[in-house]
Structure 1
């Protein structure tokens, strides 16, 4: 994409998304459908109006970072620690179960052993974007649901980092044991560093200049992106750095003002994320991947709520709560897309296997969104009764 065409590209994306979003609202469809569809239409495998999807993907990644930062602002550190302890068994158990299901399905569909293993790894995770975007943030009686969902997603992020490290090791010169373990050792360093900087630097600046709203907005963005970059430098994910940047600020009274200020910015970048998901998908491979993708998507949608419900009941969560958390996590993840891209780029899997993972992700994003917005409270619910910000 030439530099001078970025404004025109944004015009196509947001005008097209606005038109399709209007149609989606009139026909009572979730807005995420409009964003993915406009990506498929305008992307290189559609009419080709926007060919450089890599740039859009990089830009849209900022939306995920802001999403995790805002999530952290709503999490008290003490509650987070308790929830992580409680959810560890559920996260590990569900990951192993879906690894086995994905591997078995991959073998059944005739993929190689390595491709089947990577398909299994892609099924282990649920979407941070879908899980959190559809979660009410301001309703007190849903706070426990939110803590459970967030705790599970964070633990899945740690597992995803380990999987990505294994995949990256095939491309990296540092294949030592320390090179693999270093990011996990870096996590407590990142957390302690974040807490100390907030206490001794960030909060002091906020208290001194709290009359200047523009400065608070600027400082919040700088803090979020700074921690995201620090996490990446340590071998962790930028999303994890942004989340702990938010958690470190959560005890401050200013946290809710920051959260409200950054929501429009987050939504801007998330539209680009879903656009890039649709634009990156090669429509020419649909004939080869349609059957395994649909069957895998059905398996994920049907089995994830059952598995999470069963495992959550083992830690004494009530049945209604366990079902709701299961349905909210009833899809695969943006990490699954990343696994597909990296594995295909390093020739660990073929294009067909990669697109099976991508198609399964898109289908489960869409179907699970329908399930949640028609049955549970969410910010984008169609029914006024279920709509909660």
Structure 2
């Protein structure tokens, strides 16, 4: 019966996702919004067709692990250093500004200081998925604007990793400030040791094996998955998060010639689990709380849409970028991130925030994904632009 339940749930999720994804593409919407909406409709707070969301959430967590692994594979150290010199000040200053906006809004709407801090953290990041998907390939590879967008997203991803590390060290076991500080210090000590182990293992064990058996594509696929999940479990064992371990595993492989082949091979697997993750986010969304969270969610969404472009525009002008470039980058990054959903998920699971705060972050993410996409496709070149003049692959 349990097996039938899982198979039937998968049927509903992926068949429903295919239908809603078709509608989303026709209406120029990001696909992950369709997955979240489907989860809300089919989950316990919707029609209840899929009830075992805990099992799905556990399975979907693998998608986040693969997402961080692939992010690490794409993070070439040389490219990252180049972007660090150019955009570090903008990334840090904007993160501080958005943190302050989210924290202030949380306090105004009566949330606790910890909940307000988590809201501020959720506002710091822009969506890598939407930012990249709405950027034409020609812009991405040949134009300065595309390089800055990608550079800022990479820097935000690094900050997001640190936030996830902090959340992981401040969970339920941290009943006092002292124990929380000790857990964070232990995690920070474990981090370089794990990175050093990953570098050595890749150099002297994994790469020689991959080079010896590179004709067997199935072996490369299995070795990459085993390395990713193995270091994820190793990270959990030493007090870090599985996501952090997967990210380190990816970075350790990033400079190898085979990294892009691994990234391409694992993307379909990542997408499979990410569909389940975003579905589980929607399925856990308590629709009965809409009356309580609607006002703060709308206020945060309005703040994100209005202030992110302005802040990015003036910060980029400070590093000698033109006003037009600043506005375009600001609008392209004018939403919060899929990392914001993960932050809400982890903070709620560890008891740092309550149900209402978690749902405010989730609702803000969904609304900002939706509305910022419309802004970009009506104003700037993108693969799904409404006008023929702006549509560029």
Counterpart for residue 229 of structure 2: 225
Change (3 A) 1:179 1:352: closer
Counterpart for residue 93 of structure 1: 93
| Aligned 8 A contact 2:168 2:240 in 1 | no
How far residue 79 of structure 1 moved from its aligned partner, in angstroms, is 2.2
How far residue 124 of structure 1 moved from its aligned partner, in angstroms, is 3.1
How far residue 335 of structure 1 moved from its aligned partner, in angstroms, is 4.4
* Segment of structure 1 superposing worse, 164-173 or 147-156: 164-173
Counterpart for residue 149 of structure 2: 145
1:249-271 CA-partner distances (Å, limit 9, x unpaired): 23322222222212211221121
How far residue 43 of structure 1 moved from its aligned partner, in angstroms, is 0.5
- 1:48 and 1:346 map into 2 onto residues whose CA distance is 26
Among 304, 308, 315, the alignment partner of 2:312 is 308
- 2:22 and 2:71 map into 1 onto residues whose CA distance is 28
How far residue 169 of structure 1 moved from its aligned partner, in angstroms, is 5.2
- 1:342 and 1:77 map into 2 onto residues whose CA distance is 28
How far residue 14 of structure 1 moved from its aligned partner, in angstroms, is 0.4
Structure 2, unpaired ranges of 5+: none
1:163-206 CA-partner distances (Å, limit 9, x unpaired): 55335454589806432222223333233222222211111111
- Give the RMSD, CA atoms, in angstroms: 3.2
TM-score, structure 2 length as denominator? Answer: 0.85
Determine helix, strand or coil for the equivalent of 1:175: helix
* Segment of structure 1 superposing worse, 79-88 or 27-36: 79-88
Counterpart for residue 202 of structure 2: 198
How far residue 49 of structure 1 moved from its aligned partner, in angstroms, is 0.9
Counterpart for residue 46 of structure 1: 46
Matched, 1:162 2:156: no
How far residue 122 of structure 1 moved from its aligned partner, in angstroms, is 3.2
- 2:245 and 2:386 map into 1 onto residues whose CA distance is 33
Change (3 A) 1:75 1:321: farther
1:46-80 CA-partner distances (Å, limit 9, x unpaired): 01111122222222222232233223333322222
How far residue 86 of structure 1 moved from its aligned partner, in angstroms, is 4.9
How far residue 380 of structure 1 moved from its aligned partner, in angstroms, is 6.7
- 1:341 and 1:254 map into 2 onto residues whose CA distance is 33
- 1:231 and 1:78 map into 2 onto residues whose CA distance is 25
How far residue 386 of structure 1 moved from its aligned partner, in angstroms, is 4.6
Counterpart for residue 71 of structure 2: 71
- 2:311 and 2:351 map into 1 onto residues whose CA distance is 32
Among 238, 242, 250, the alignment partner of 1:238 is 242
- 1:320 and 1:181 map into 2 onto residues whose CA distance is 43
Change (3 A) 1:124 1:76: closer
Among 258, 262, 265, the alignment partner of 2:266 is 262
Counterpart for residue 14 of structure 1: 14
| Aligned 8 A contact 2:232 2:244 in 1 | yes
